[in-house]
Amino acid sequence: MSDRPRAMLPILVLIVLTPLVAELSWGSLPIQVAYALPFLVPVYGCGALLARELVRRTGRGWASLLLLGVAYEVVEDGFGLRAMFSPHTYHAAQWGARVLGVNWAYTEFNMIYHVAFTIAVPILITELMFPARRHQPYLRTRGLVITAVAYLLGVAILRLAVAPNAPGANTADAVPVGHLIVAGTVVLALGLTALLIVPKPTHRPIVPGTPPPPWLIGVAVAAGTVLALRLTAPLGAAGDPHPLFGAGWPVLAQIAGSLAVTAVVLTILWRSSLRTGWSRRHLVAVAGGALLAHTIVGASLFASTNPAELITLAVFALLEAALIIALYQRRLDSRPASSDQQRAHPLSADPISDNTPGKDKNSAHRSNSPKDAEEVLDRPAVSN
């Protein structure tokens, strides 16, 4: 394969994989209307690709990606669907905690969901599939501009074609201009923080010791995904949602509980990734645990009374498991990243070196080189 088609592969994988993960394998887009998936590629696929490009070009890591994931949710539900503010669209007000014209329970749920399954998981899987380019931008400047324009077009599609036909939508709803100004300010602040203020990886010591085994990491991520999503996801039929523990103050407890679970999972991943035994197989376990759990939760929300959709999601779960197993079993994937790789700049285009014992007499000395927590989490694994 020539260089250009090979360079296009991770781009195509990411922009196609993102709507598959975020919509079809989640169940919110029924298989009967899967023909609509290409219309979601601009907002989902180009949104994830744009976030990744901005982070890689500025030398940032996962913390910046997560912040851009929050910004993505504000754009989608604040400007595109406007369900963040509408009391009717997706019956969002019935989820509870509607305060100051904002549907907080709905927004918190979708914030966690989009950060994980529109941004983090598709990008992580793509980079695991193409590890040699994991820390490089995929696009040239022209491609970046085209991606940004396509993403804005996708937001317009949501506003003009999806929002008016969403469950519960009322065309008479009008979002106050002040709400949109605040939402735009939040998006701008999140973007500037992610790309300019969040520090680039610096040098801090790696913690000696062995992280939990990959299977345990996968189980922890899966359990956290189920808890974080189910705590704020409403009960009842799509047209009659109601909070898990009833209206009023219990809804705030649900929101707090969901955020707490998310914080615990992220802390576990951060602390585990600091250890010298952290490997690509741990990252595969993170992706696998989150992906399978999200499909299971989606089945409970969208397919519990629809046998055809339940079968569809079961097939997706099997395909997800097959992908994760294939990534997990790739040669050398279980080996920790070499110290040379740990020191590499995130935008380095140099091939990933192999630090196989015996190849470098100084490798043992270099293995103690300091490292920042986020860069350890971002570090490339040993190439095949």
* Centroid of chain to Cα 21: 10
CA 365/CA 325 separation, integer angstroms: 34
pLDDT of amino acid 353: 28
Q: Are 374 and 315 in contact (CB under 8 A)?
A: no
Which of the two residues, 149 and 175, has the higher pLDDT score? Answer: 149
Sorted by where each begins, the domain ranges of the chain are 3-378
* Centroid of chain to Cα 278: 20
CA 1/CA 271 separation, integer angstroms: 40
pTM of the predicted model as reported, rounded to 2 decimal places = 0.84
Q: Considering the chain, what is the average pLDDT of its residues?
A: 83
What DSSP line would sit under 72-107, residue for residue?
Answer: HHHIIIIIIS-TTT-SSGGGGGGGS-EETTEEHHHH
Strand partners, 207: 275
Q: Are 80 and 43 in contact (CB under 8 A)?
A: yes
Q: H/E element holding 64?
A: helix 62-74
pLDDT over threshold 90, residue 361? no
Plot region of 248 (φ>0 → left; ψ -120 to 50 → alpha; else → beta): left
Q: Are 105 and 348 in contact (CB under 8 A)?
A: no
Q: H/E element holding 290?
A: helix 280-302
Confidence class of residue 243 from pLDDT cuts 50, 70 and 90?
low
Strand partners, 336: 279
* Centroid of chain to Cα 46: 13
pLDDT of amino acid 290: 97
- Report helix, strand or coil for 344: coil
pLDDT of amino acid 276: 86
End-to-end CA distance of the chain: 18
Q: Comparing C-alpha atoms, which of 252, 257, 251 is closest to residue 234?
A: 251
Q: Comparing C-alpha atoms, which of 382, 274, 369 is closest to residue 334?
A: 382
Residues sharing a CB contact under 8 Å with residue 379, sequence separation 6 or more, in sequence order: 337, 341, 342, 344, 371
Q: Render pLDDT for 247-292 as a digit per residue (tens, 0 to 9).
A: 666 788 889 999 999 999 999 999 999 888 899 999 999 999 999 9
pLDDT of amino acid 242: 59
What DSSP line would sit under 299-326, residue for residue?
Answer: HHHHSTT-HHHHHHHHHHHHHHHHHHHH
